[in-house]
Amino acid sequence: MVLDGGTLSLSNPAGGTNFSVPLTVADNSTIERVGNTSDTLSSALAIPAGKNLSLSVLGGSLSRSVAITGDGSLTKMGRGTLSFDGADANTYTGGTTVGAGVLQLNKPAGVNAVSDLTVNYGRVGWSADEQIANTATVNLNGGGILDLNGKTETVAVLNTTGGTISGSNLIVPTINKTLGNTTTINSRLVIPGGNINVTSGTLRLTNTAIGAGRQRPDRRHAQYFQRRQPARRAHRRGKQSDRLQLRFRSTTGR
């Protein structure tokens, strides 16, 4: 079967179905799973460069245990749960966007379920450590949640306009906070020689863990730089002109 635009809708009221029909993605398309059952999609999937495949899980859960390949992108839609399972890494390079529901990252520790990730709405959950490529950029927006669930994740860049991060350890050299919303990080934050740039809104660190798990951006661990534009320029722009940058010099959590 060739997906050359449009939507392929799959359903079985009995549930427990393995949808394994051979599929070829030729253009931007949607695979829709209807119902509130728990099913599996094991068809081979390769997404061509410049194309996007939307996986819409309208309810229940859909397990994807076979690797997704290609140079295109994938979008998770629908209020249900899409779970990336199986022992093989997903190698598609166009990035993943979550627009609704849950994307559960359930590969073995150290096996990449996704690379670059954008979460606009919905939740991304971790079932094991290190599910995202260490070189990846993660974009977290106002309606998004990253639930580390007690796991550790390493990424290269976190760009955020809002949303929440909770769980255990987030290792990221660079965080960029923009726009006027609040981003809350309730995870142990490790900044290995990188920096935090807050240009608008609020970045709230609320980790209440004690000992090695707590946040300690104090004098021994951080440098704070505040740059002010001339008052006349700030008045002309009609907005806050301060730019706050935090540079962490240590990765210790003590």
Give the residue extent of every domain in the chain.
2-248
pLDDT of residue 219: 34
Q: Is the Cβ–Cβ distance between 205 and 185 less than 8 Å?
A: yes
Decide the pairing of beta strands 81-84 and 102-105.
parallel
What pLDDT sits at residue 247? Answer: 42
Q: How many helices (H) and strands (E) does the chain have?
A: 1, 25
pLDDT at site 233: 42
**What pLDDT shows up at residue 191?**
84
Enumerate residues 6+ apart whose C-beta is below 8 A from 10.
17, 19, 31, 32, 33, 34, 39, 41
Q: Which residues in the chain show pLDDT less than 70?
A: 193, 207-254
pLDDT value of position 17: 95
What is the identity of the amino acid at 207?
N
- β-bridge pairing 243-248 and 195-198: antiparallel
Tell me what pLDDT residue 128 has: 98
- The pTM assigned to this predicted structure is 0.84
